[in-house]
């Protein structure tokens, strides 16, 4: 089956993650949707090769979850640090282990912690994880699930 394009992943991730968020009114929802689209586009532009879909999905994920508040302060470099941390954590950290990222220029930072690893009935390995992002003194935490693709990359499944 062909891999979905990054432009398909970003809106799909936005819709999945918007469904996970509490109802905070139209401004917060709109900010999350805009954050998801912009994060997905930025991630797509930044990513290269087979990891491009993961970077785009990570951008959409970060944009959705923190787009209405903290995400406005994340720049392209912040999203790149975060995407690398997500990939590193999913691939190498044991359950409960943390991968920390920090942009030395902006001071923004985050922590990615796998919460559970499991195999689906179809034989895919998936990991639930938590991603906390801190901008200034404000932190936001999101929860998600990613599954390993046949090419070894991780694809975000839900928020």
Under a CB-based contact definition with an 8 Å cutoff, are residues 37 and 17 in contact?
Answer: no
Residue 121 falls within a domain, yes or no? yes
One digit per residue, pLDDT tens: the chain, 159 residues?
444 443 344 444 444 444 444 444 433 444 454 455 445 544 544 445 555 556 666 666 666 665 555 555 678 899 899 989 999 999 999 999 999 999 999 999 999 999 999 999 999 999 999 999 998 888 989 888 999 999 988 888 875
Six-digit token pair at 15?
Answer: 């819709």
In a domain, 60, yes or no: yes
| 30 within domain boundaries | yes
Residue 116 lies in a domain: yes
Question: Is the Cβ–Cβ distance between 65 and 77 less than 8 Å?
Answer: no
Q: What is the pLDDT of residue 129?
A: 94
Q: How far apart are CA 127 and CA 108, in angstroms?
A: 25
On whether residue 148 sits in a domain, the answer given is yes
Number of domains present in the structure of the chain: 1
Phi-psi region of 150 (alpha: psi -120 to 50; beta: other; left: phi over 0): alpha
Domain limits at 127? Answer: 6-158
CB-based contact 99:81 (threshold 8 Å):
no
Q: Which residues pair with 127 in a beta bridge?
A: 117, 146
The pLDDT score that the predictor gives to residue 49 is: 57
1 part of a folded domain: no
Residue 94 covered by a domain? yes
The tokens for 22 are 């509490």
- Global pTM value: 0.59
DSSP designation for 21: S
């Amino acid at each position: 089956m062909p891999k979905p394009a990054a432009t398909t992943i970003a809106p799909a991730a936005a819709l999945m993650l918007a469904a996970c968020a509490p109802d905070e009114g139209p401004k917060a929802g709109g900010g999350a949707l805009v954050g998801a689209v912009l994060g997905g586009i930025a991630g797509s532009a930044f990513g290269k090769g087979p990891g491009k879909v993961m970077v785009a999905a990570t951008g959409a994920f970060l944009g959705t979850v923190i787009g209405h508040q903290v995400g406005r302060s994340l720049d392209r470099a912040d999203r790149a640090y975060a995407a690398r941390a997500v990939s590193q954590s999913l691939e190498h950290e044991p359950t409960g282990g943390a991968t920390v990222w920090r942009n030395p220029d902006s001071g923004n930072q985050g922590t990615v912690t796998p919460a559970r690893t499991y195999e689906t009935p179809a034989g895919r390995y998936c990991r639930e994880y938590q991603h906390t992002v801190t901008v200034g003194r404000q932190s936001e935490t999101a929860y998600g699930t990613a599954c390993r693709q046949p090419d070894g990359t991780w694809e975000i499944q839900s928020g």
